[in-house]
Structure 1
């Protein structure tokens, strides 16, 4: 029994494959071609070659239609591209319309006797032959996107198995429909990516051209001070040297850092930015260097730091003067060696990053007081660039104000404009917050204006609402003062000595509270007021600037009767 069973198995394997097995093998070969590399016309041509070998057809085409129903891609195994297109166009419109509208196969046993093919070019089907035609729609989900059309010559109609051929072509058409859909999605995404790349390149070219002319799209102004800075930006952008941007808060350090990156050879790489003052030291280390999974509580996965993300690009470190002494040593190693380890990791990583840093602190004074490492300072300040405050480029105020108002109108769909008196008011203001304060001033006036034109009375400084105009009022324009909140009671100090008597603390009867500057120095009042403005009226930051404690700053504010500015 065992030997008989083995023999039967051998006999079944040696049998020639049946029609179903051949169809399955053909679909397998077609799927390999459709899933392989190549353009859509190439894979469709390969599919037709498989169909030609399995169906013994004379001619055949695969046609994909566009949204209007016109042939978009037509290929053939036996004809060239032009011949395949002529073959498909020669098919009767009634037959093609039936395929598209009814979404059902069309079978014609003999095209020479069918009325629909009466007006077709008979040379397409040969002479003196009986030719059968089979058409199958190609669908993408619920929509017909094309058709497979083949013809076969036959001598005996009984030898034709149209039902089996139609089933085989329908399976092939389903695979072709899915492949065509995927190719179109890929082509659409590719076109979108190319369009985005062209747009980005155009923006970079425009930015470089603007910088060569002395301006940039996001850096508005034509003043000599700004032109000098932009010329220096263009020069330093060509090198790989670290850049330190110096200047008061609100002068646009991030915009200039981005301009340096976009005009440099690294413009194709990433531009990564980080505000060092916004994070505590433990989080700052993870943000810059990254961490391994399980390095600390909450580190569920491995994470790349900003240095890794900025590899072959530019890393912008804002408020670099606020980092602690311990973290300064960790940062110095990366700048010197270009290598680091992730938090909780042991593998040394190497990166190629250009550093652009920014600060509004006096780093030289911090180095002299040992509050900032001298070796780190020299690493960061290879090319220092001082950004001018807005008071040194007053000619740019109207241009900046118009730009901010244009953005406000675009965001809020309004058509507000400035009157000449309004522009004059802004040009006379001191703007200790620089460009950032100017933008806030424009938006506040545009929000509260009752008409379509901003006049001089619409500004907060004309309505006793601008604290900056009180603290920084000049001698030429006397602004109305705001009501001052009474300070806590403190011991009455001695009268302020006249200026000619304030030559030193030894001769000043009230040196602790005197607001008159002594020879070659600034008064304590002026130093305190300047530190509070630079720190955004945060007493802890002002204390670091003056190398004092927050309690000393609070006592000095009460002593001089300076009201706390709240935002």
Structure 2
């Protein structure tokens, strides 16, 4: 028998089929749900389209106002939804909420508890039924699910009550899962803030981000030398964060409240650099109209950071050696000797041992500087830190530019394998550029510059990155040389397989040797189809 709504009634098999179809559609919606409000509205739409249930409405308890308010509906206007607010003990919905039991109104025109506060029910003479069931989470009511029905005199509402009760249980589970996800996200965000605060405390807010093994070794050295005033030599490629580490060395010791003075030895010609370091007397050279103290005087009892020390002229290196040995110097054009108590942190991105061998750097000065060398790893050798750094720079850039952009997984995978020739500095500038120029709400491969994207093509070409064996404490430099037969992928496959063989196919040890994470080496094993059996067959 067909009722006035077009739904076939009275045939249990047909009714159950429609209910199963509706539940199938609803569970598919919930299974791939991202947004709670959108999903609940779609569920209400299924009730209307599949079950012919009119004005399907979900009311949830607002914990702040302690009122039942419409969370999702189908067939109500925005104005009608706003009017649908009830006290927990008010009307039919309040009765359902308090008793935690279903309630059927055979005809809303004859029920004094039916308030029709939304004003959505039409003024009609025909019979209009109202069915509501409670939504219960952990034994406590949190809302009410209700629908309107057009029934004939001979149609029972028991099947609808049973179906809506099942659906209310699904909705309760969905709400519970959503709240649990929100709690976990809040917990993760709090842990993230806590870790950043800990890192902030450790390095006084300089945010040396990273927990890879090479960076943990750097942190360990910083902690060990913190109580002393030993000279430190920072080695590493350009952009690896030598200035941040120099500042952390200063702040971790007893000179934290003392001056921290920076000098770039490659930025000035010899005469000006000498004046910058040691100061000058009035009339010492053209333009010296007044006596001026140098950076060593300004850094007295503190720390001086000499960046690009490898570019210092030979003639000036002798005076630098005297400062290191005797802690004394004279201003340019003066005869007075100044005593200075200063910690020296020097940095270079060139191999000083090679410069000594070529006569470009004094051996005695090198040995004086190289008391405690700290090698800062290039970004390609600390890949597990890349997501942390990307998140850090993206968060800071979003804040500066009032945006809320996120990285796509495709872009993250690309950046994990990108060699980062400019290291952390390149990443910071790249993220800033993408955030400023981005048009969507997510950063994709299309937001990268053509130069960065061309790396993927070059990786598949006839180029091979080789490394010469460097002398101790020198900086590894990359050379690109032609390769006649093998591509980069072939070479990578051979290196991964060779490392696995050397370590008896123990992936953890092979990954550690190659500077990869377990996930990355697992990906490469799968990518190249490597297996222990095939290796033995070879």
TM-score, normalized by length of structure 1?
A: 0.46
Indicate the structure (1 or 2) with the bigger Cα radius of gyration.
1
TM-score, normalized by length of structure 2?
A: 0.48
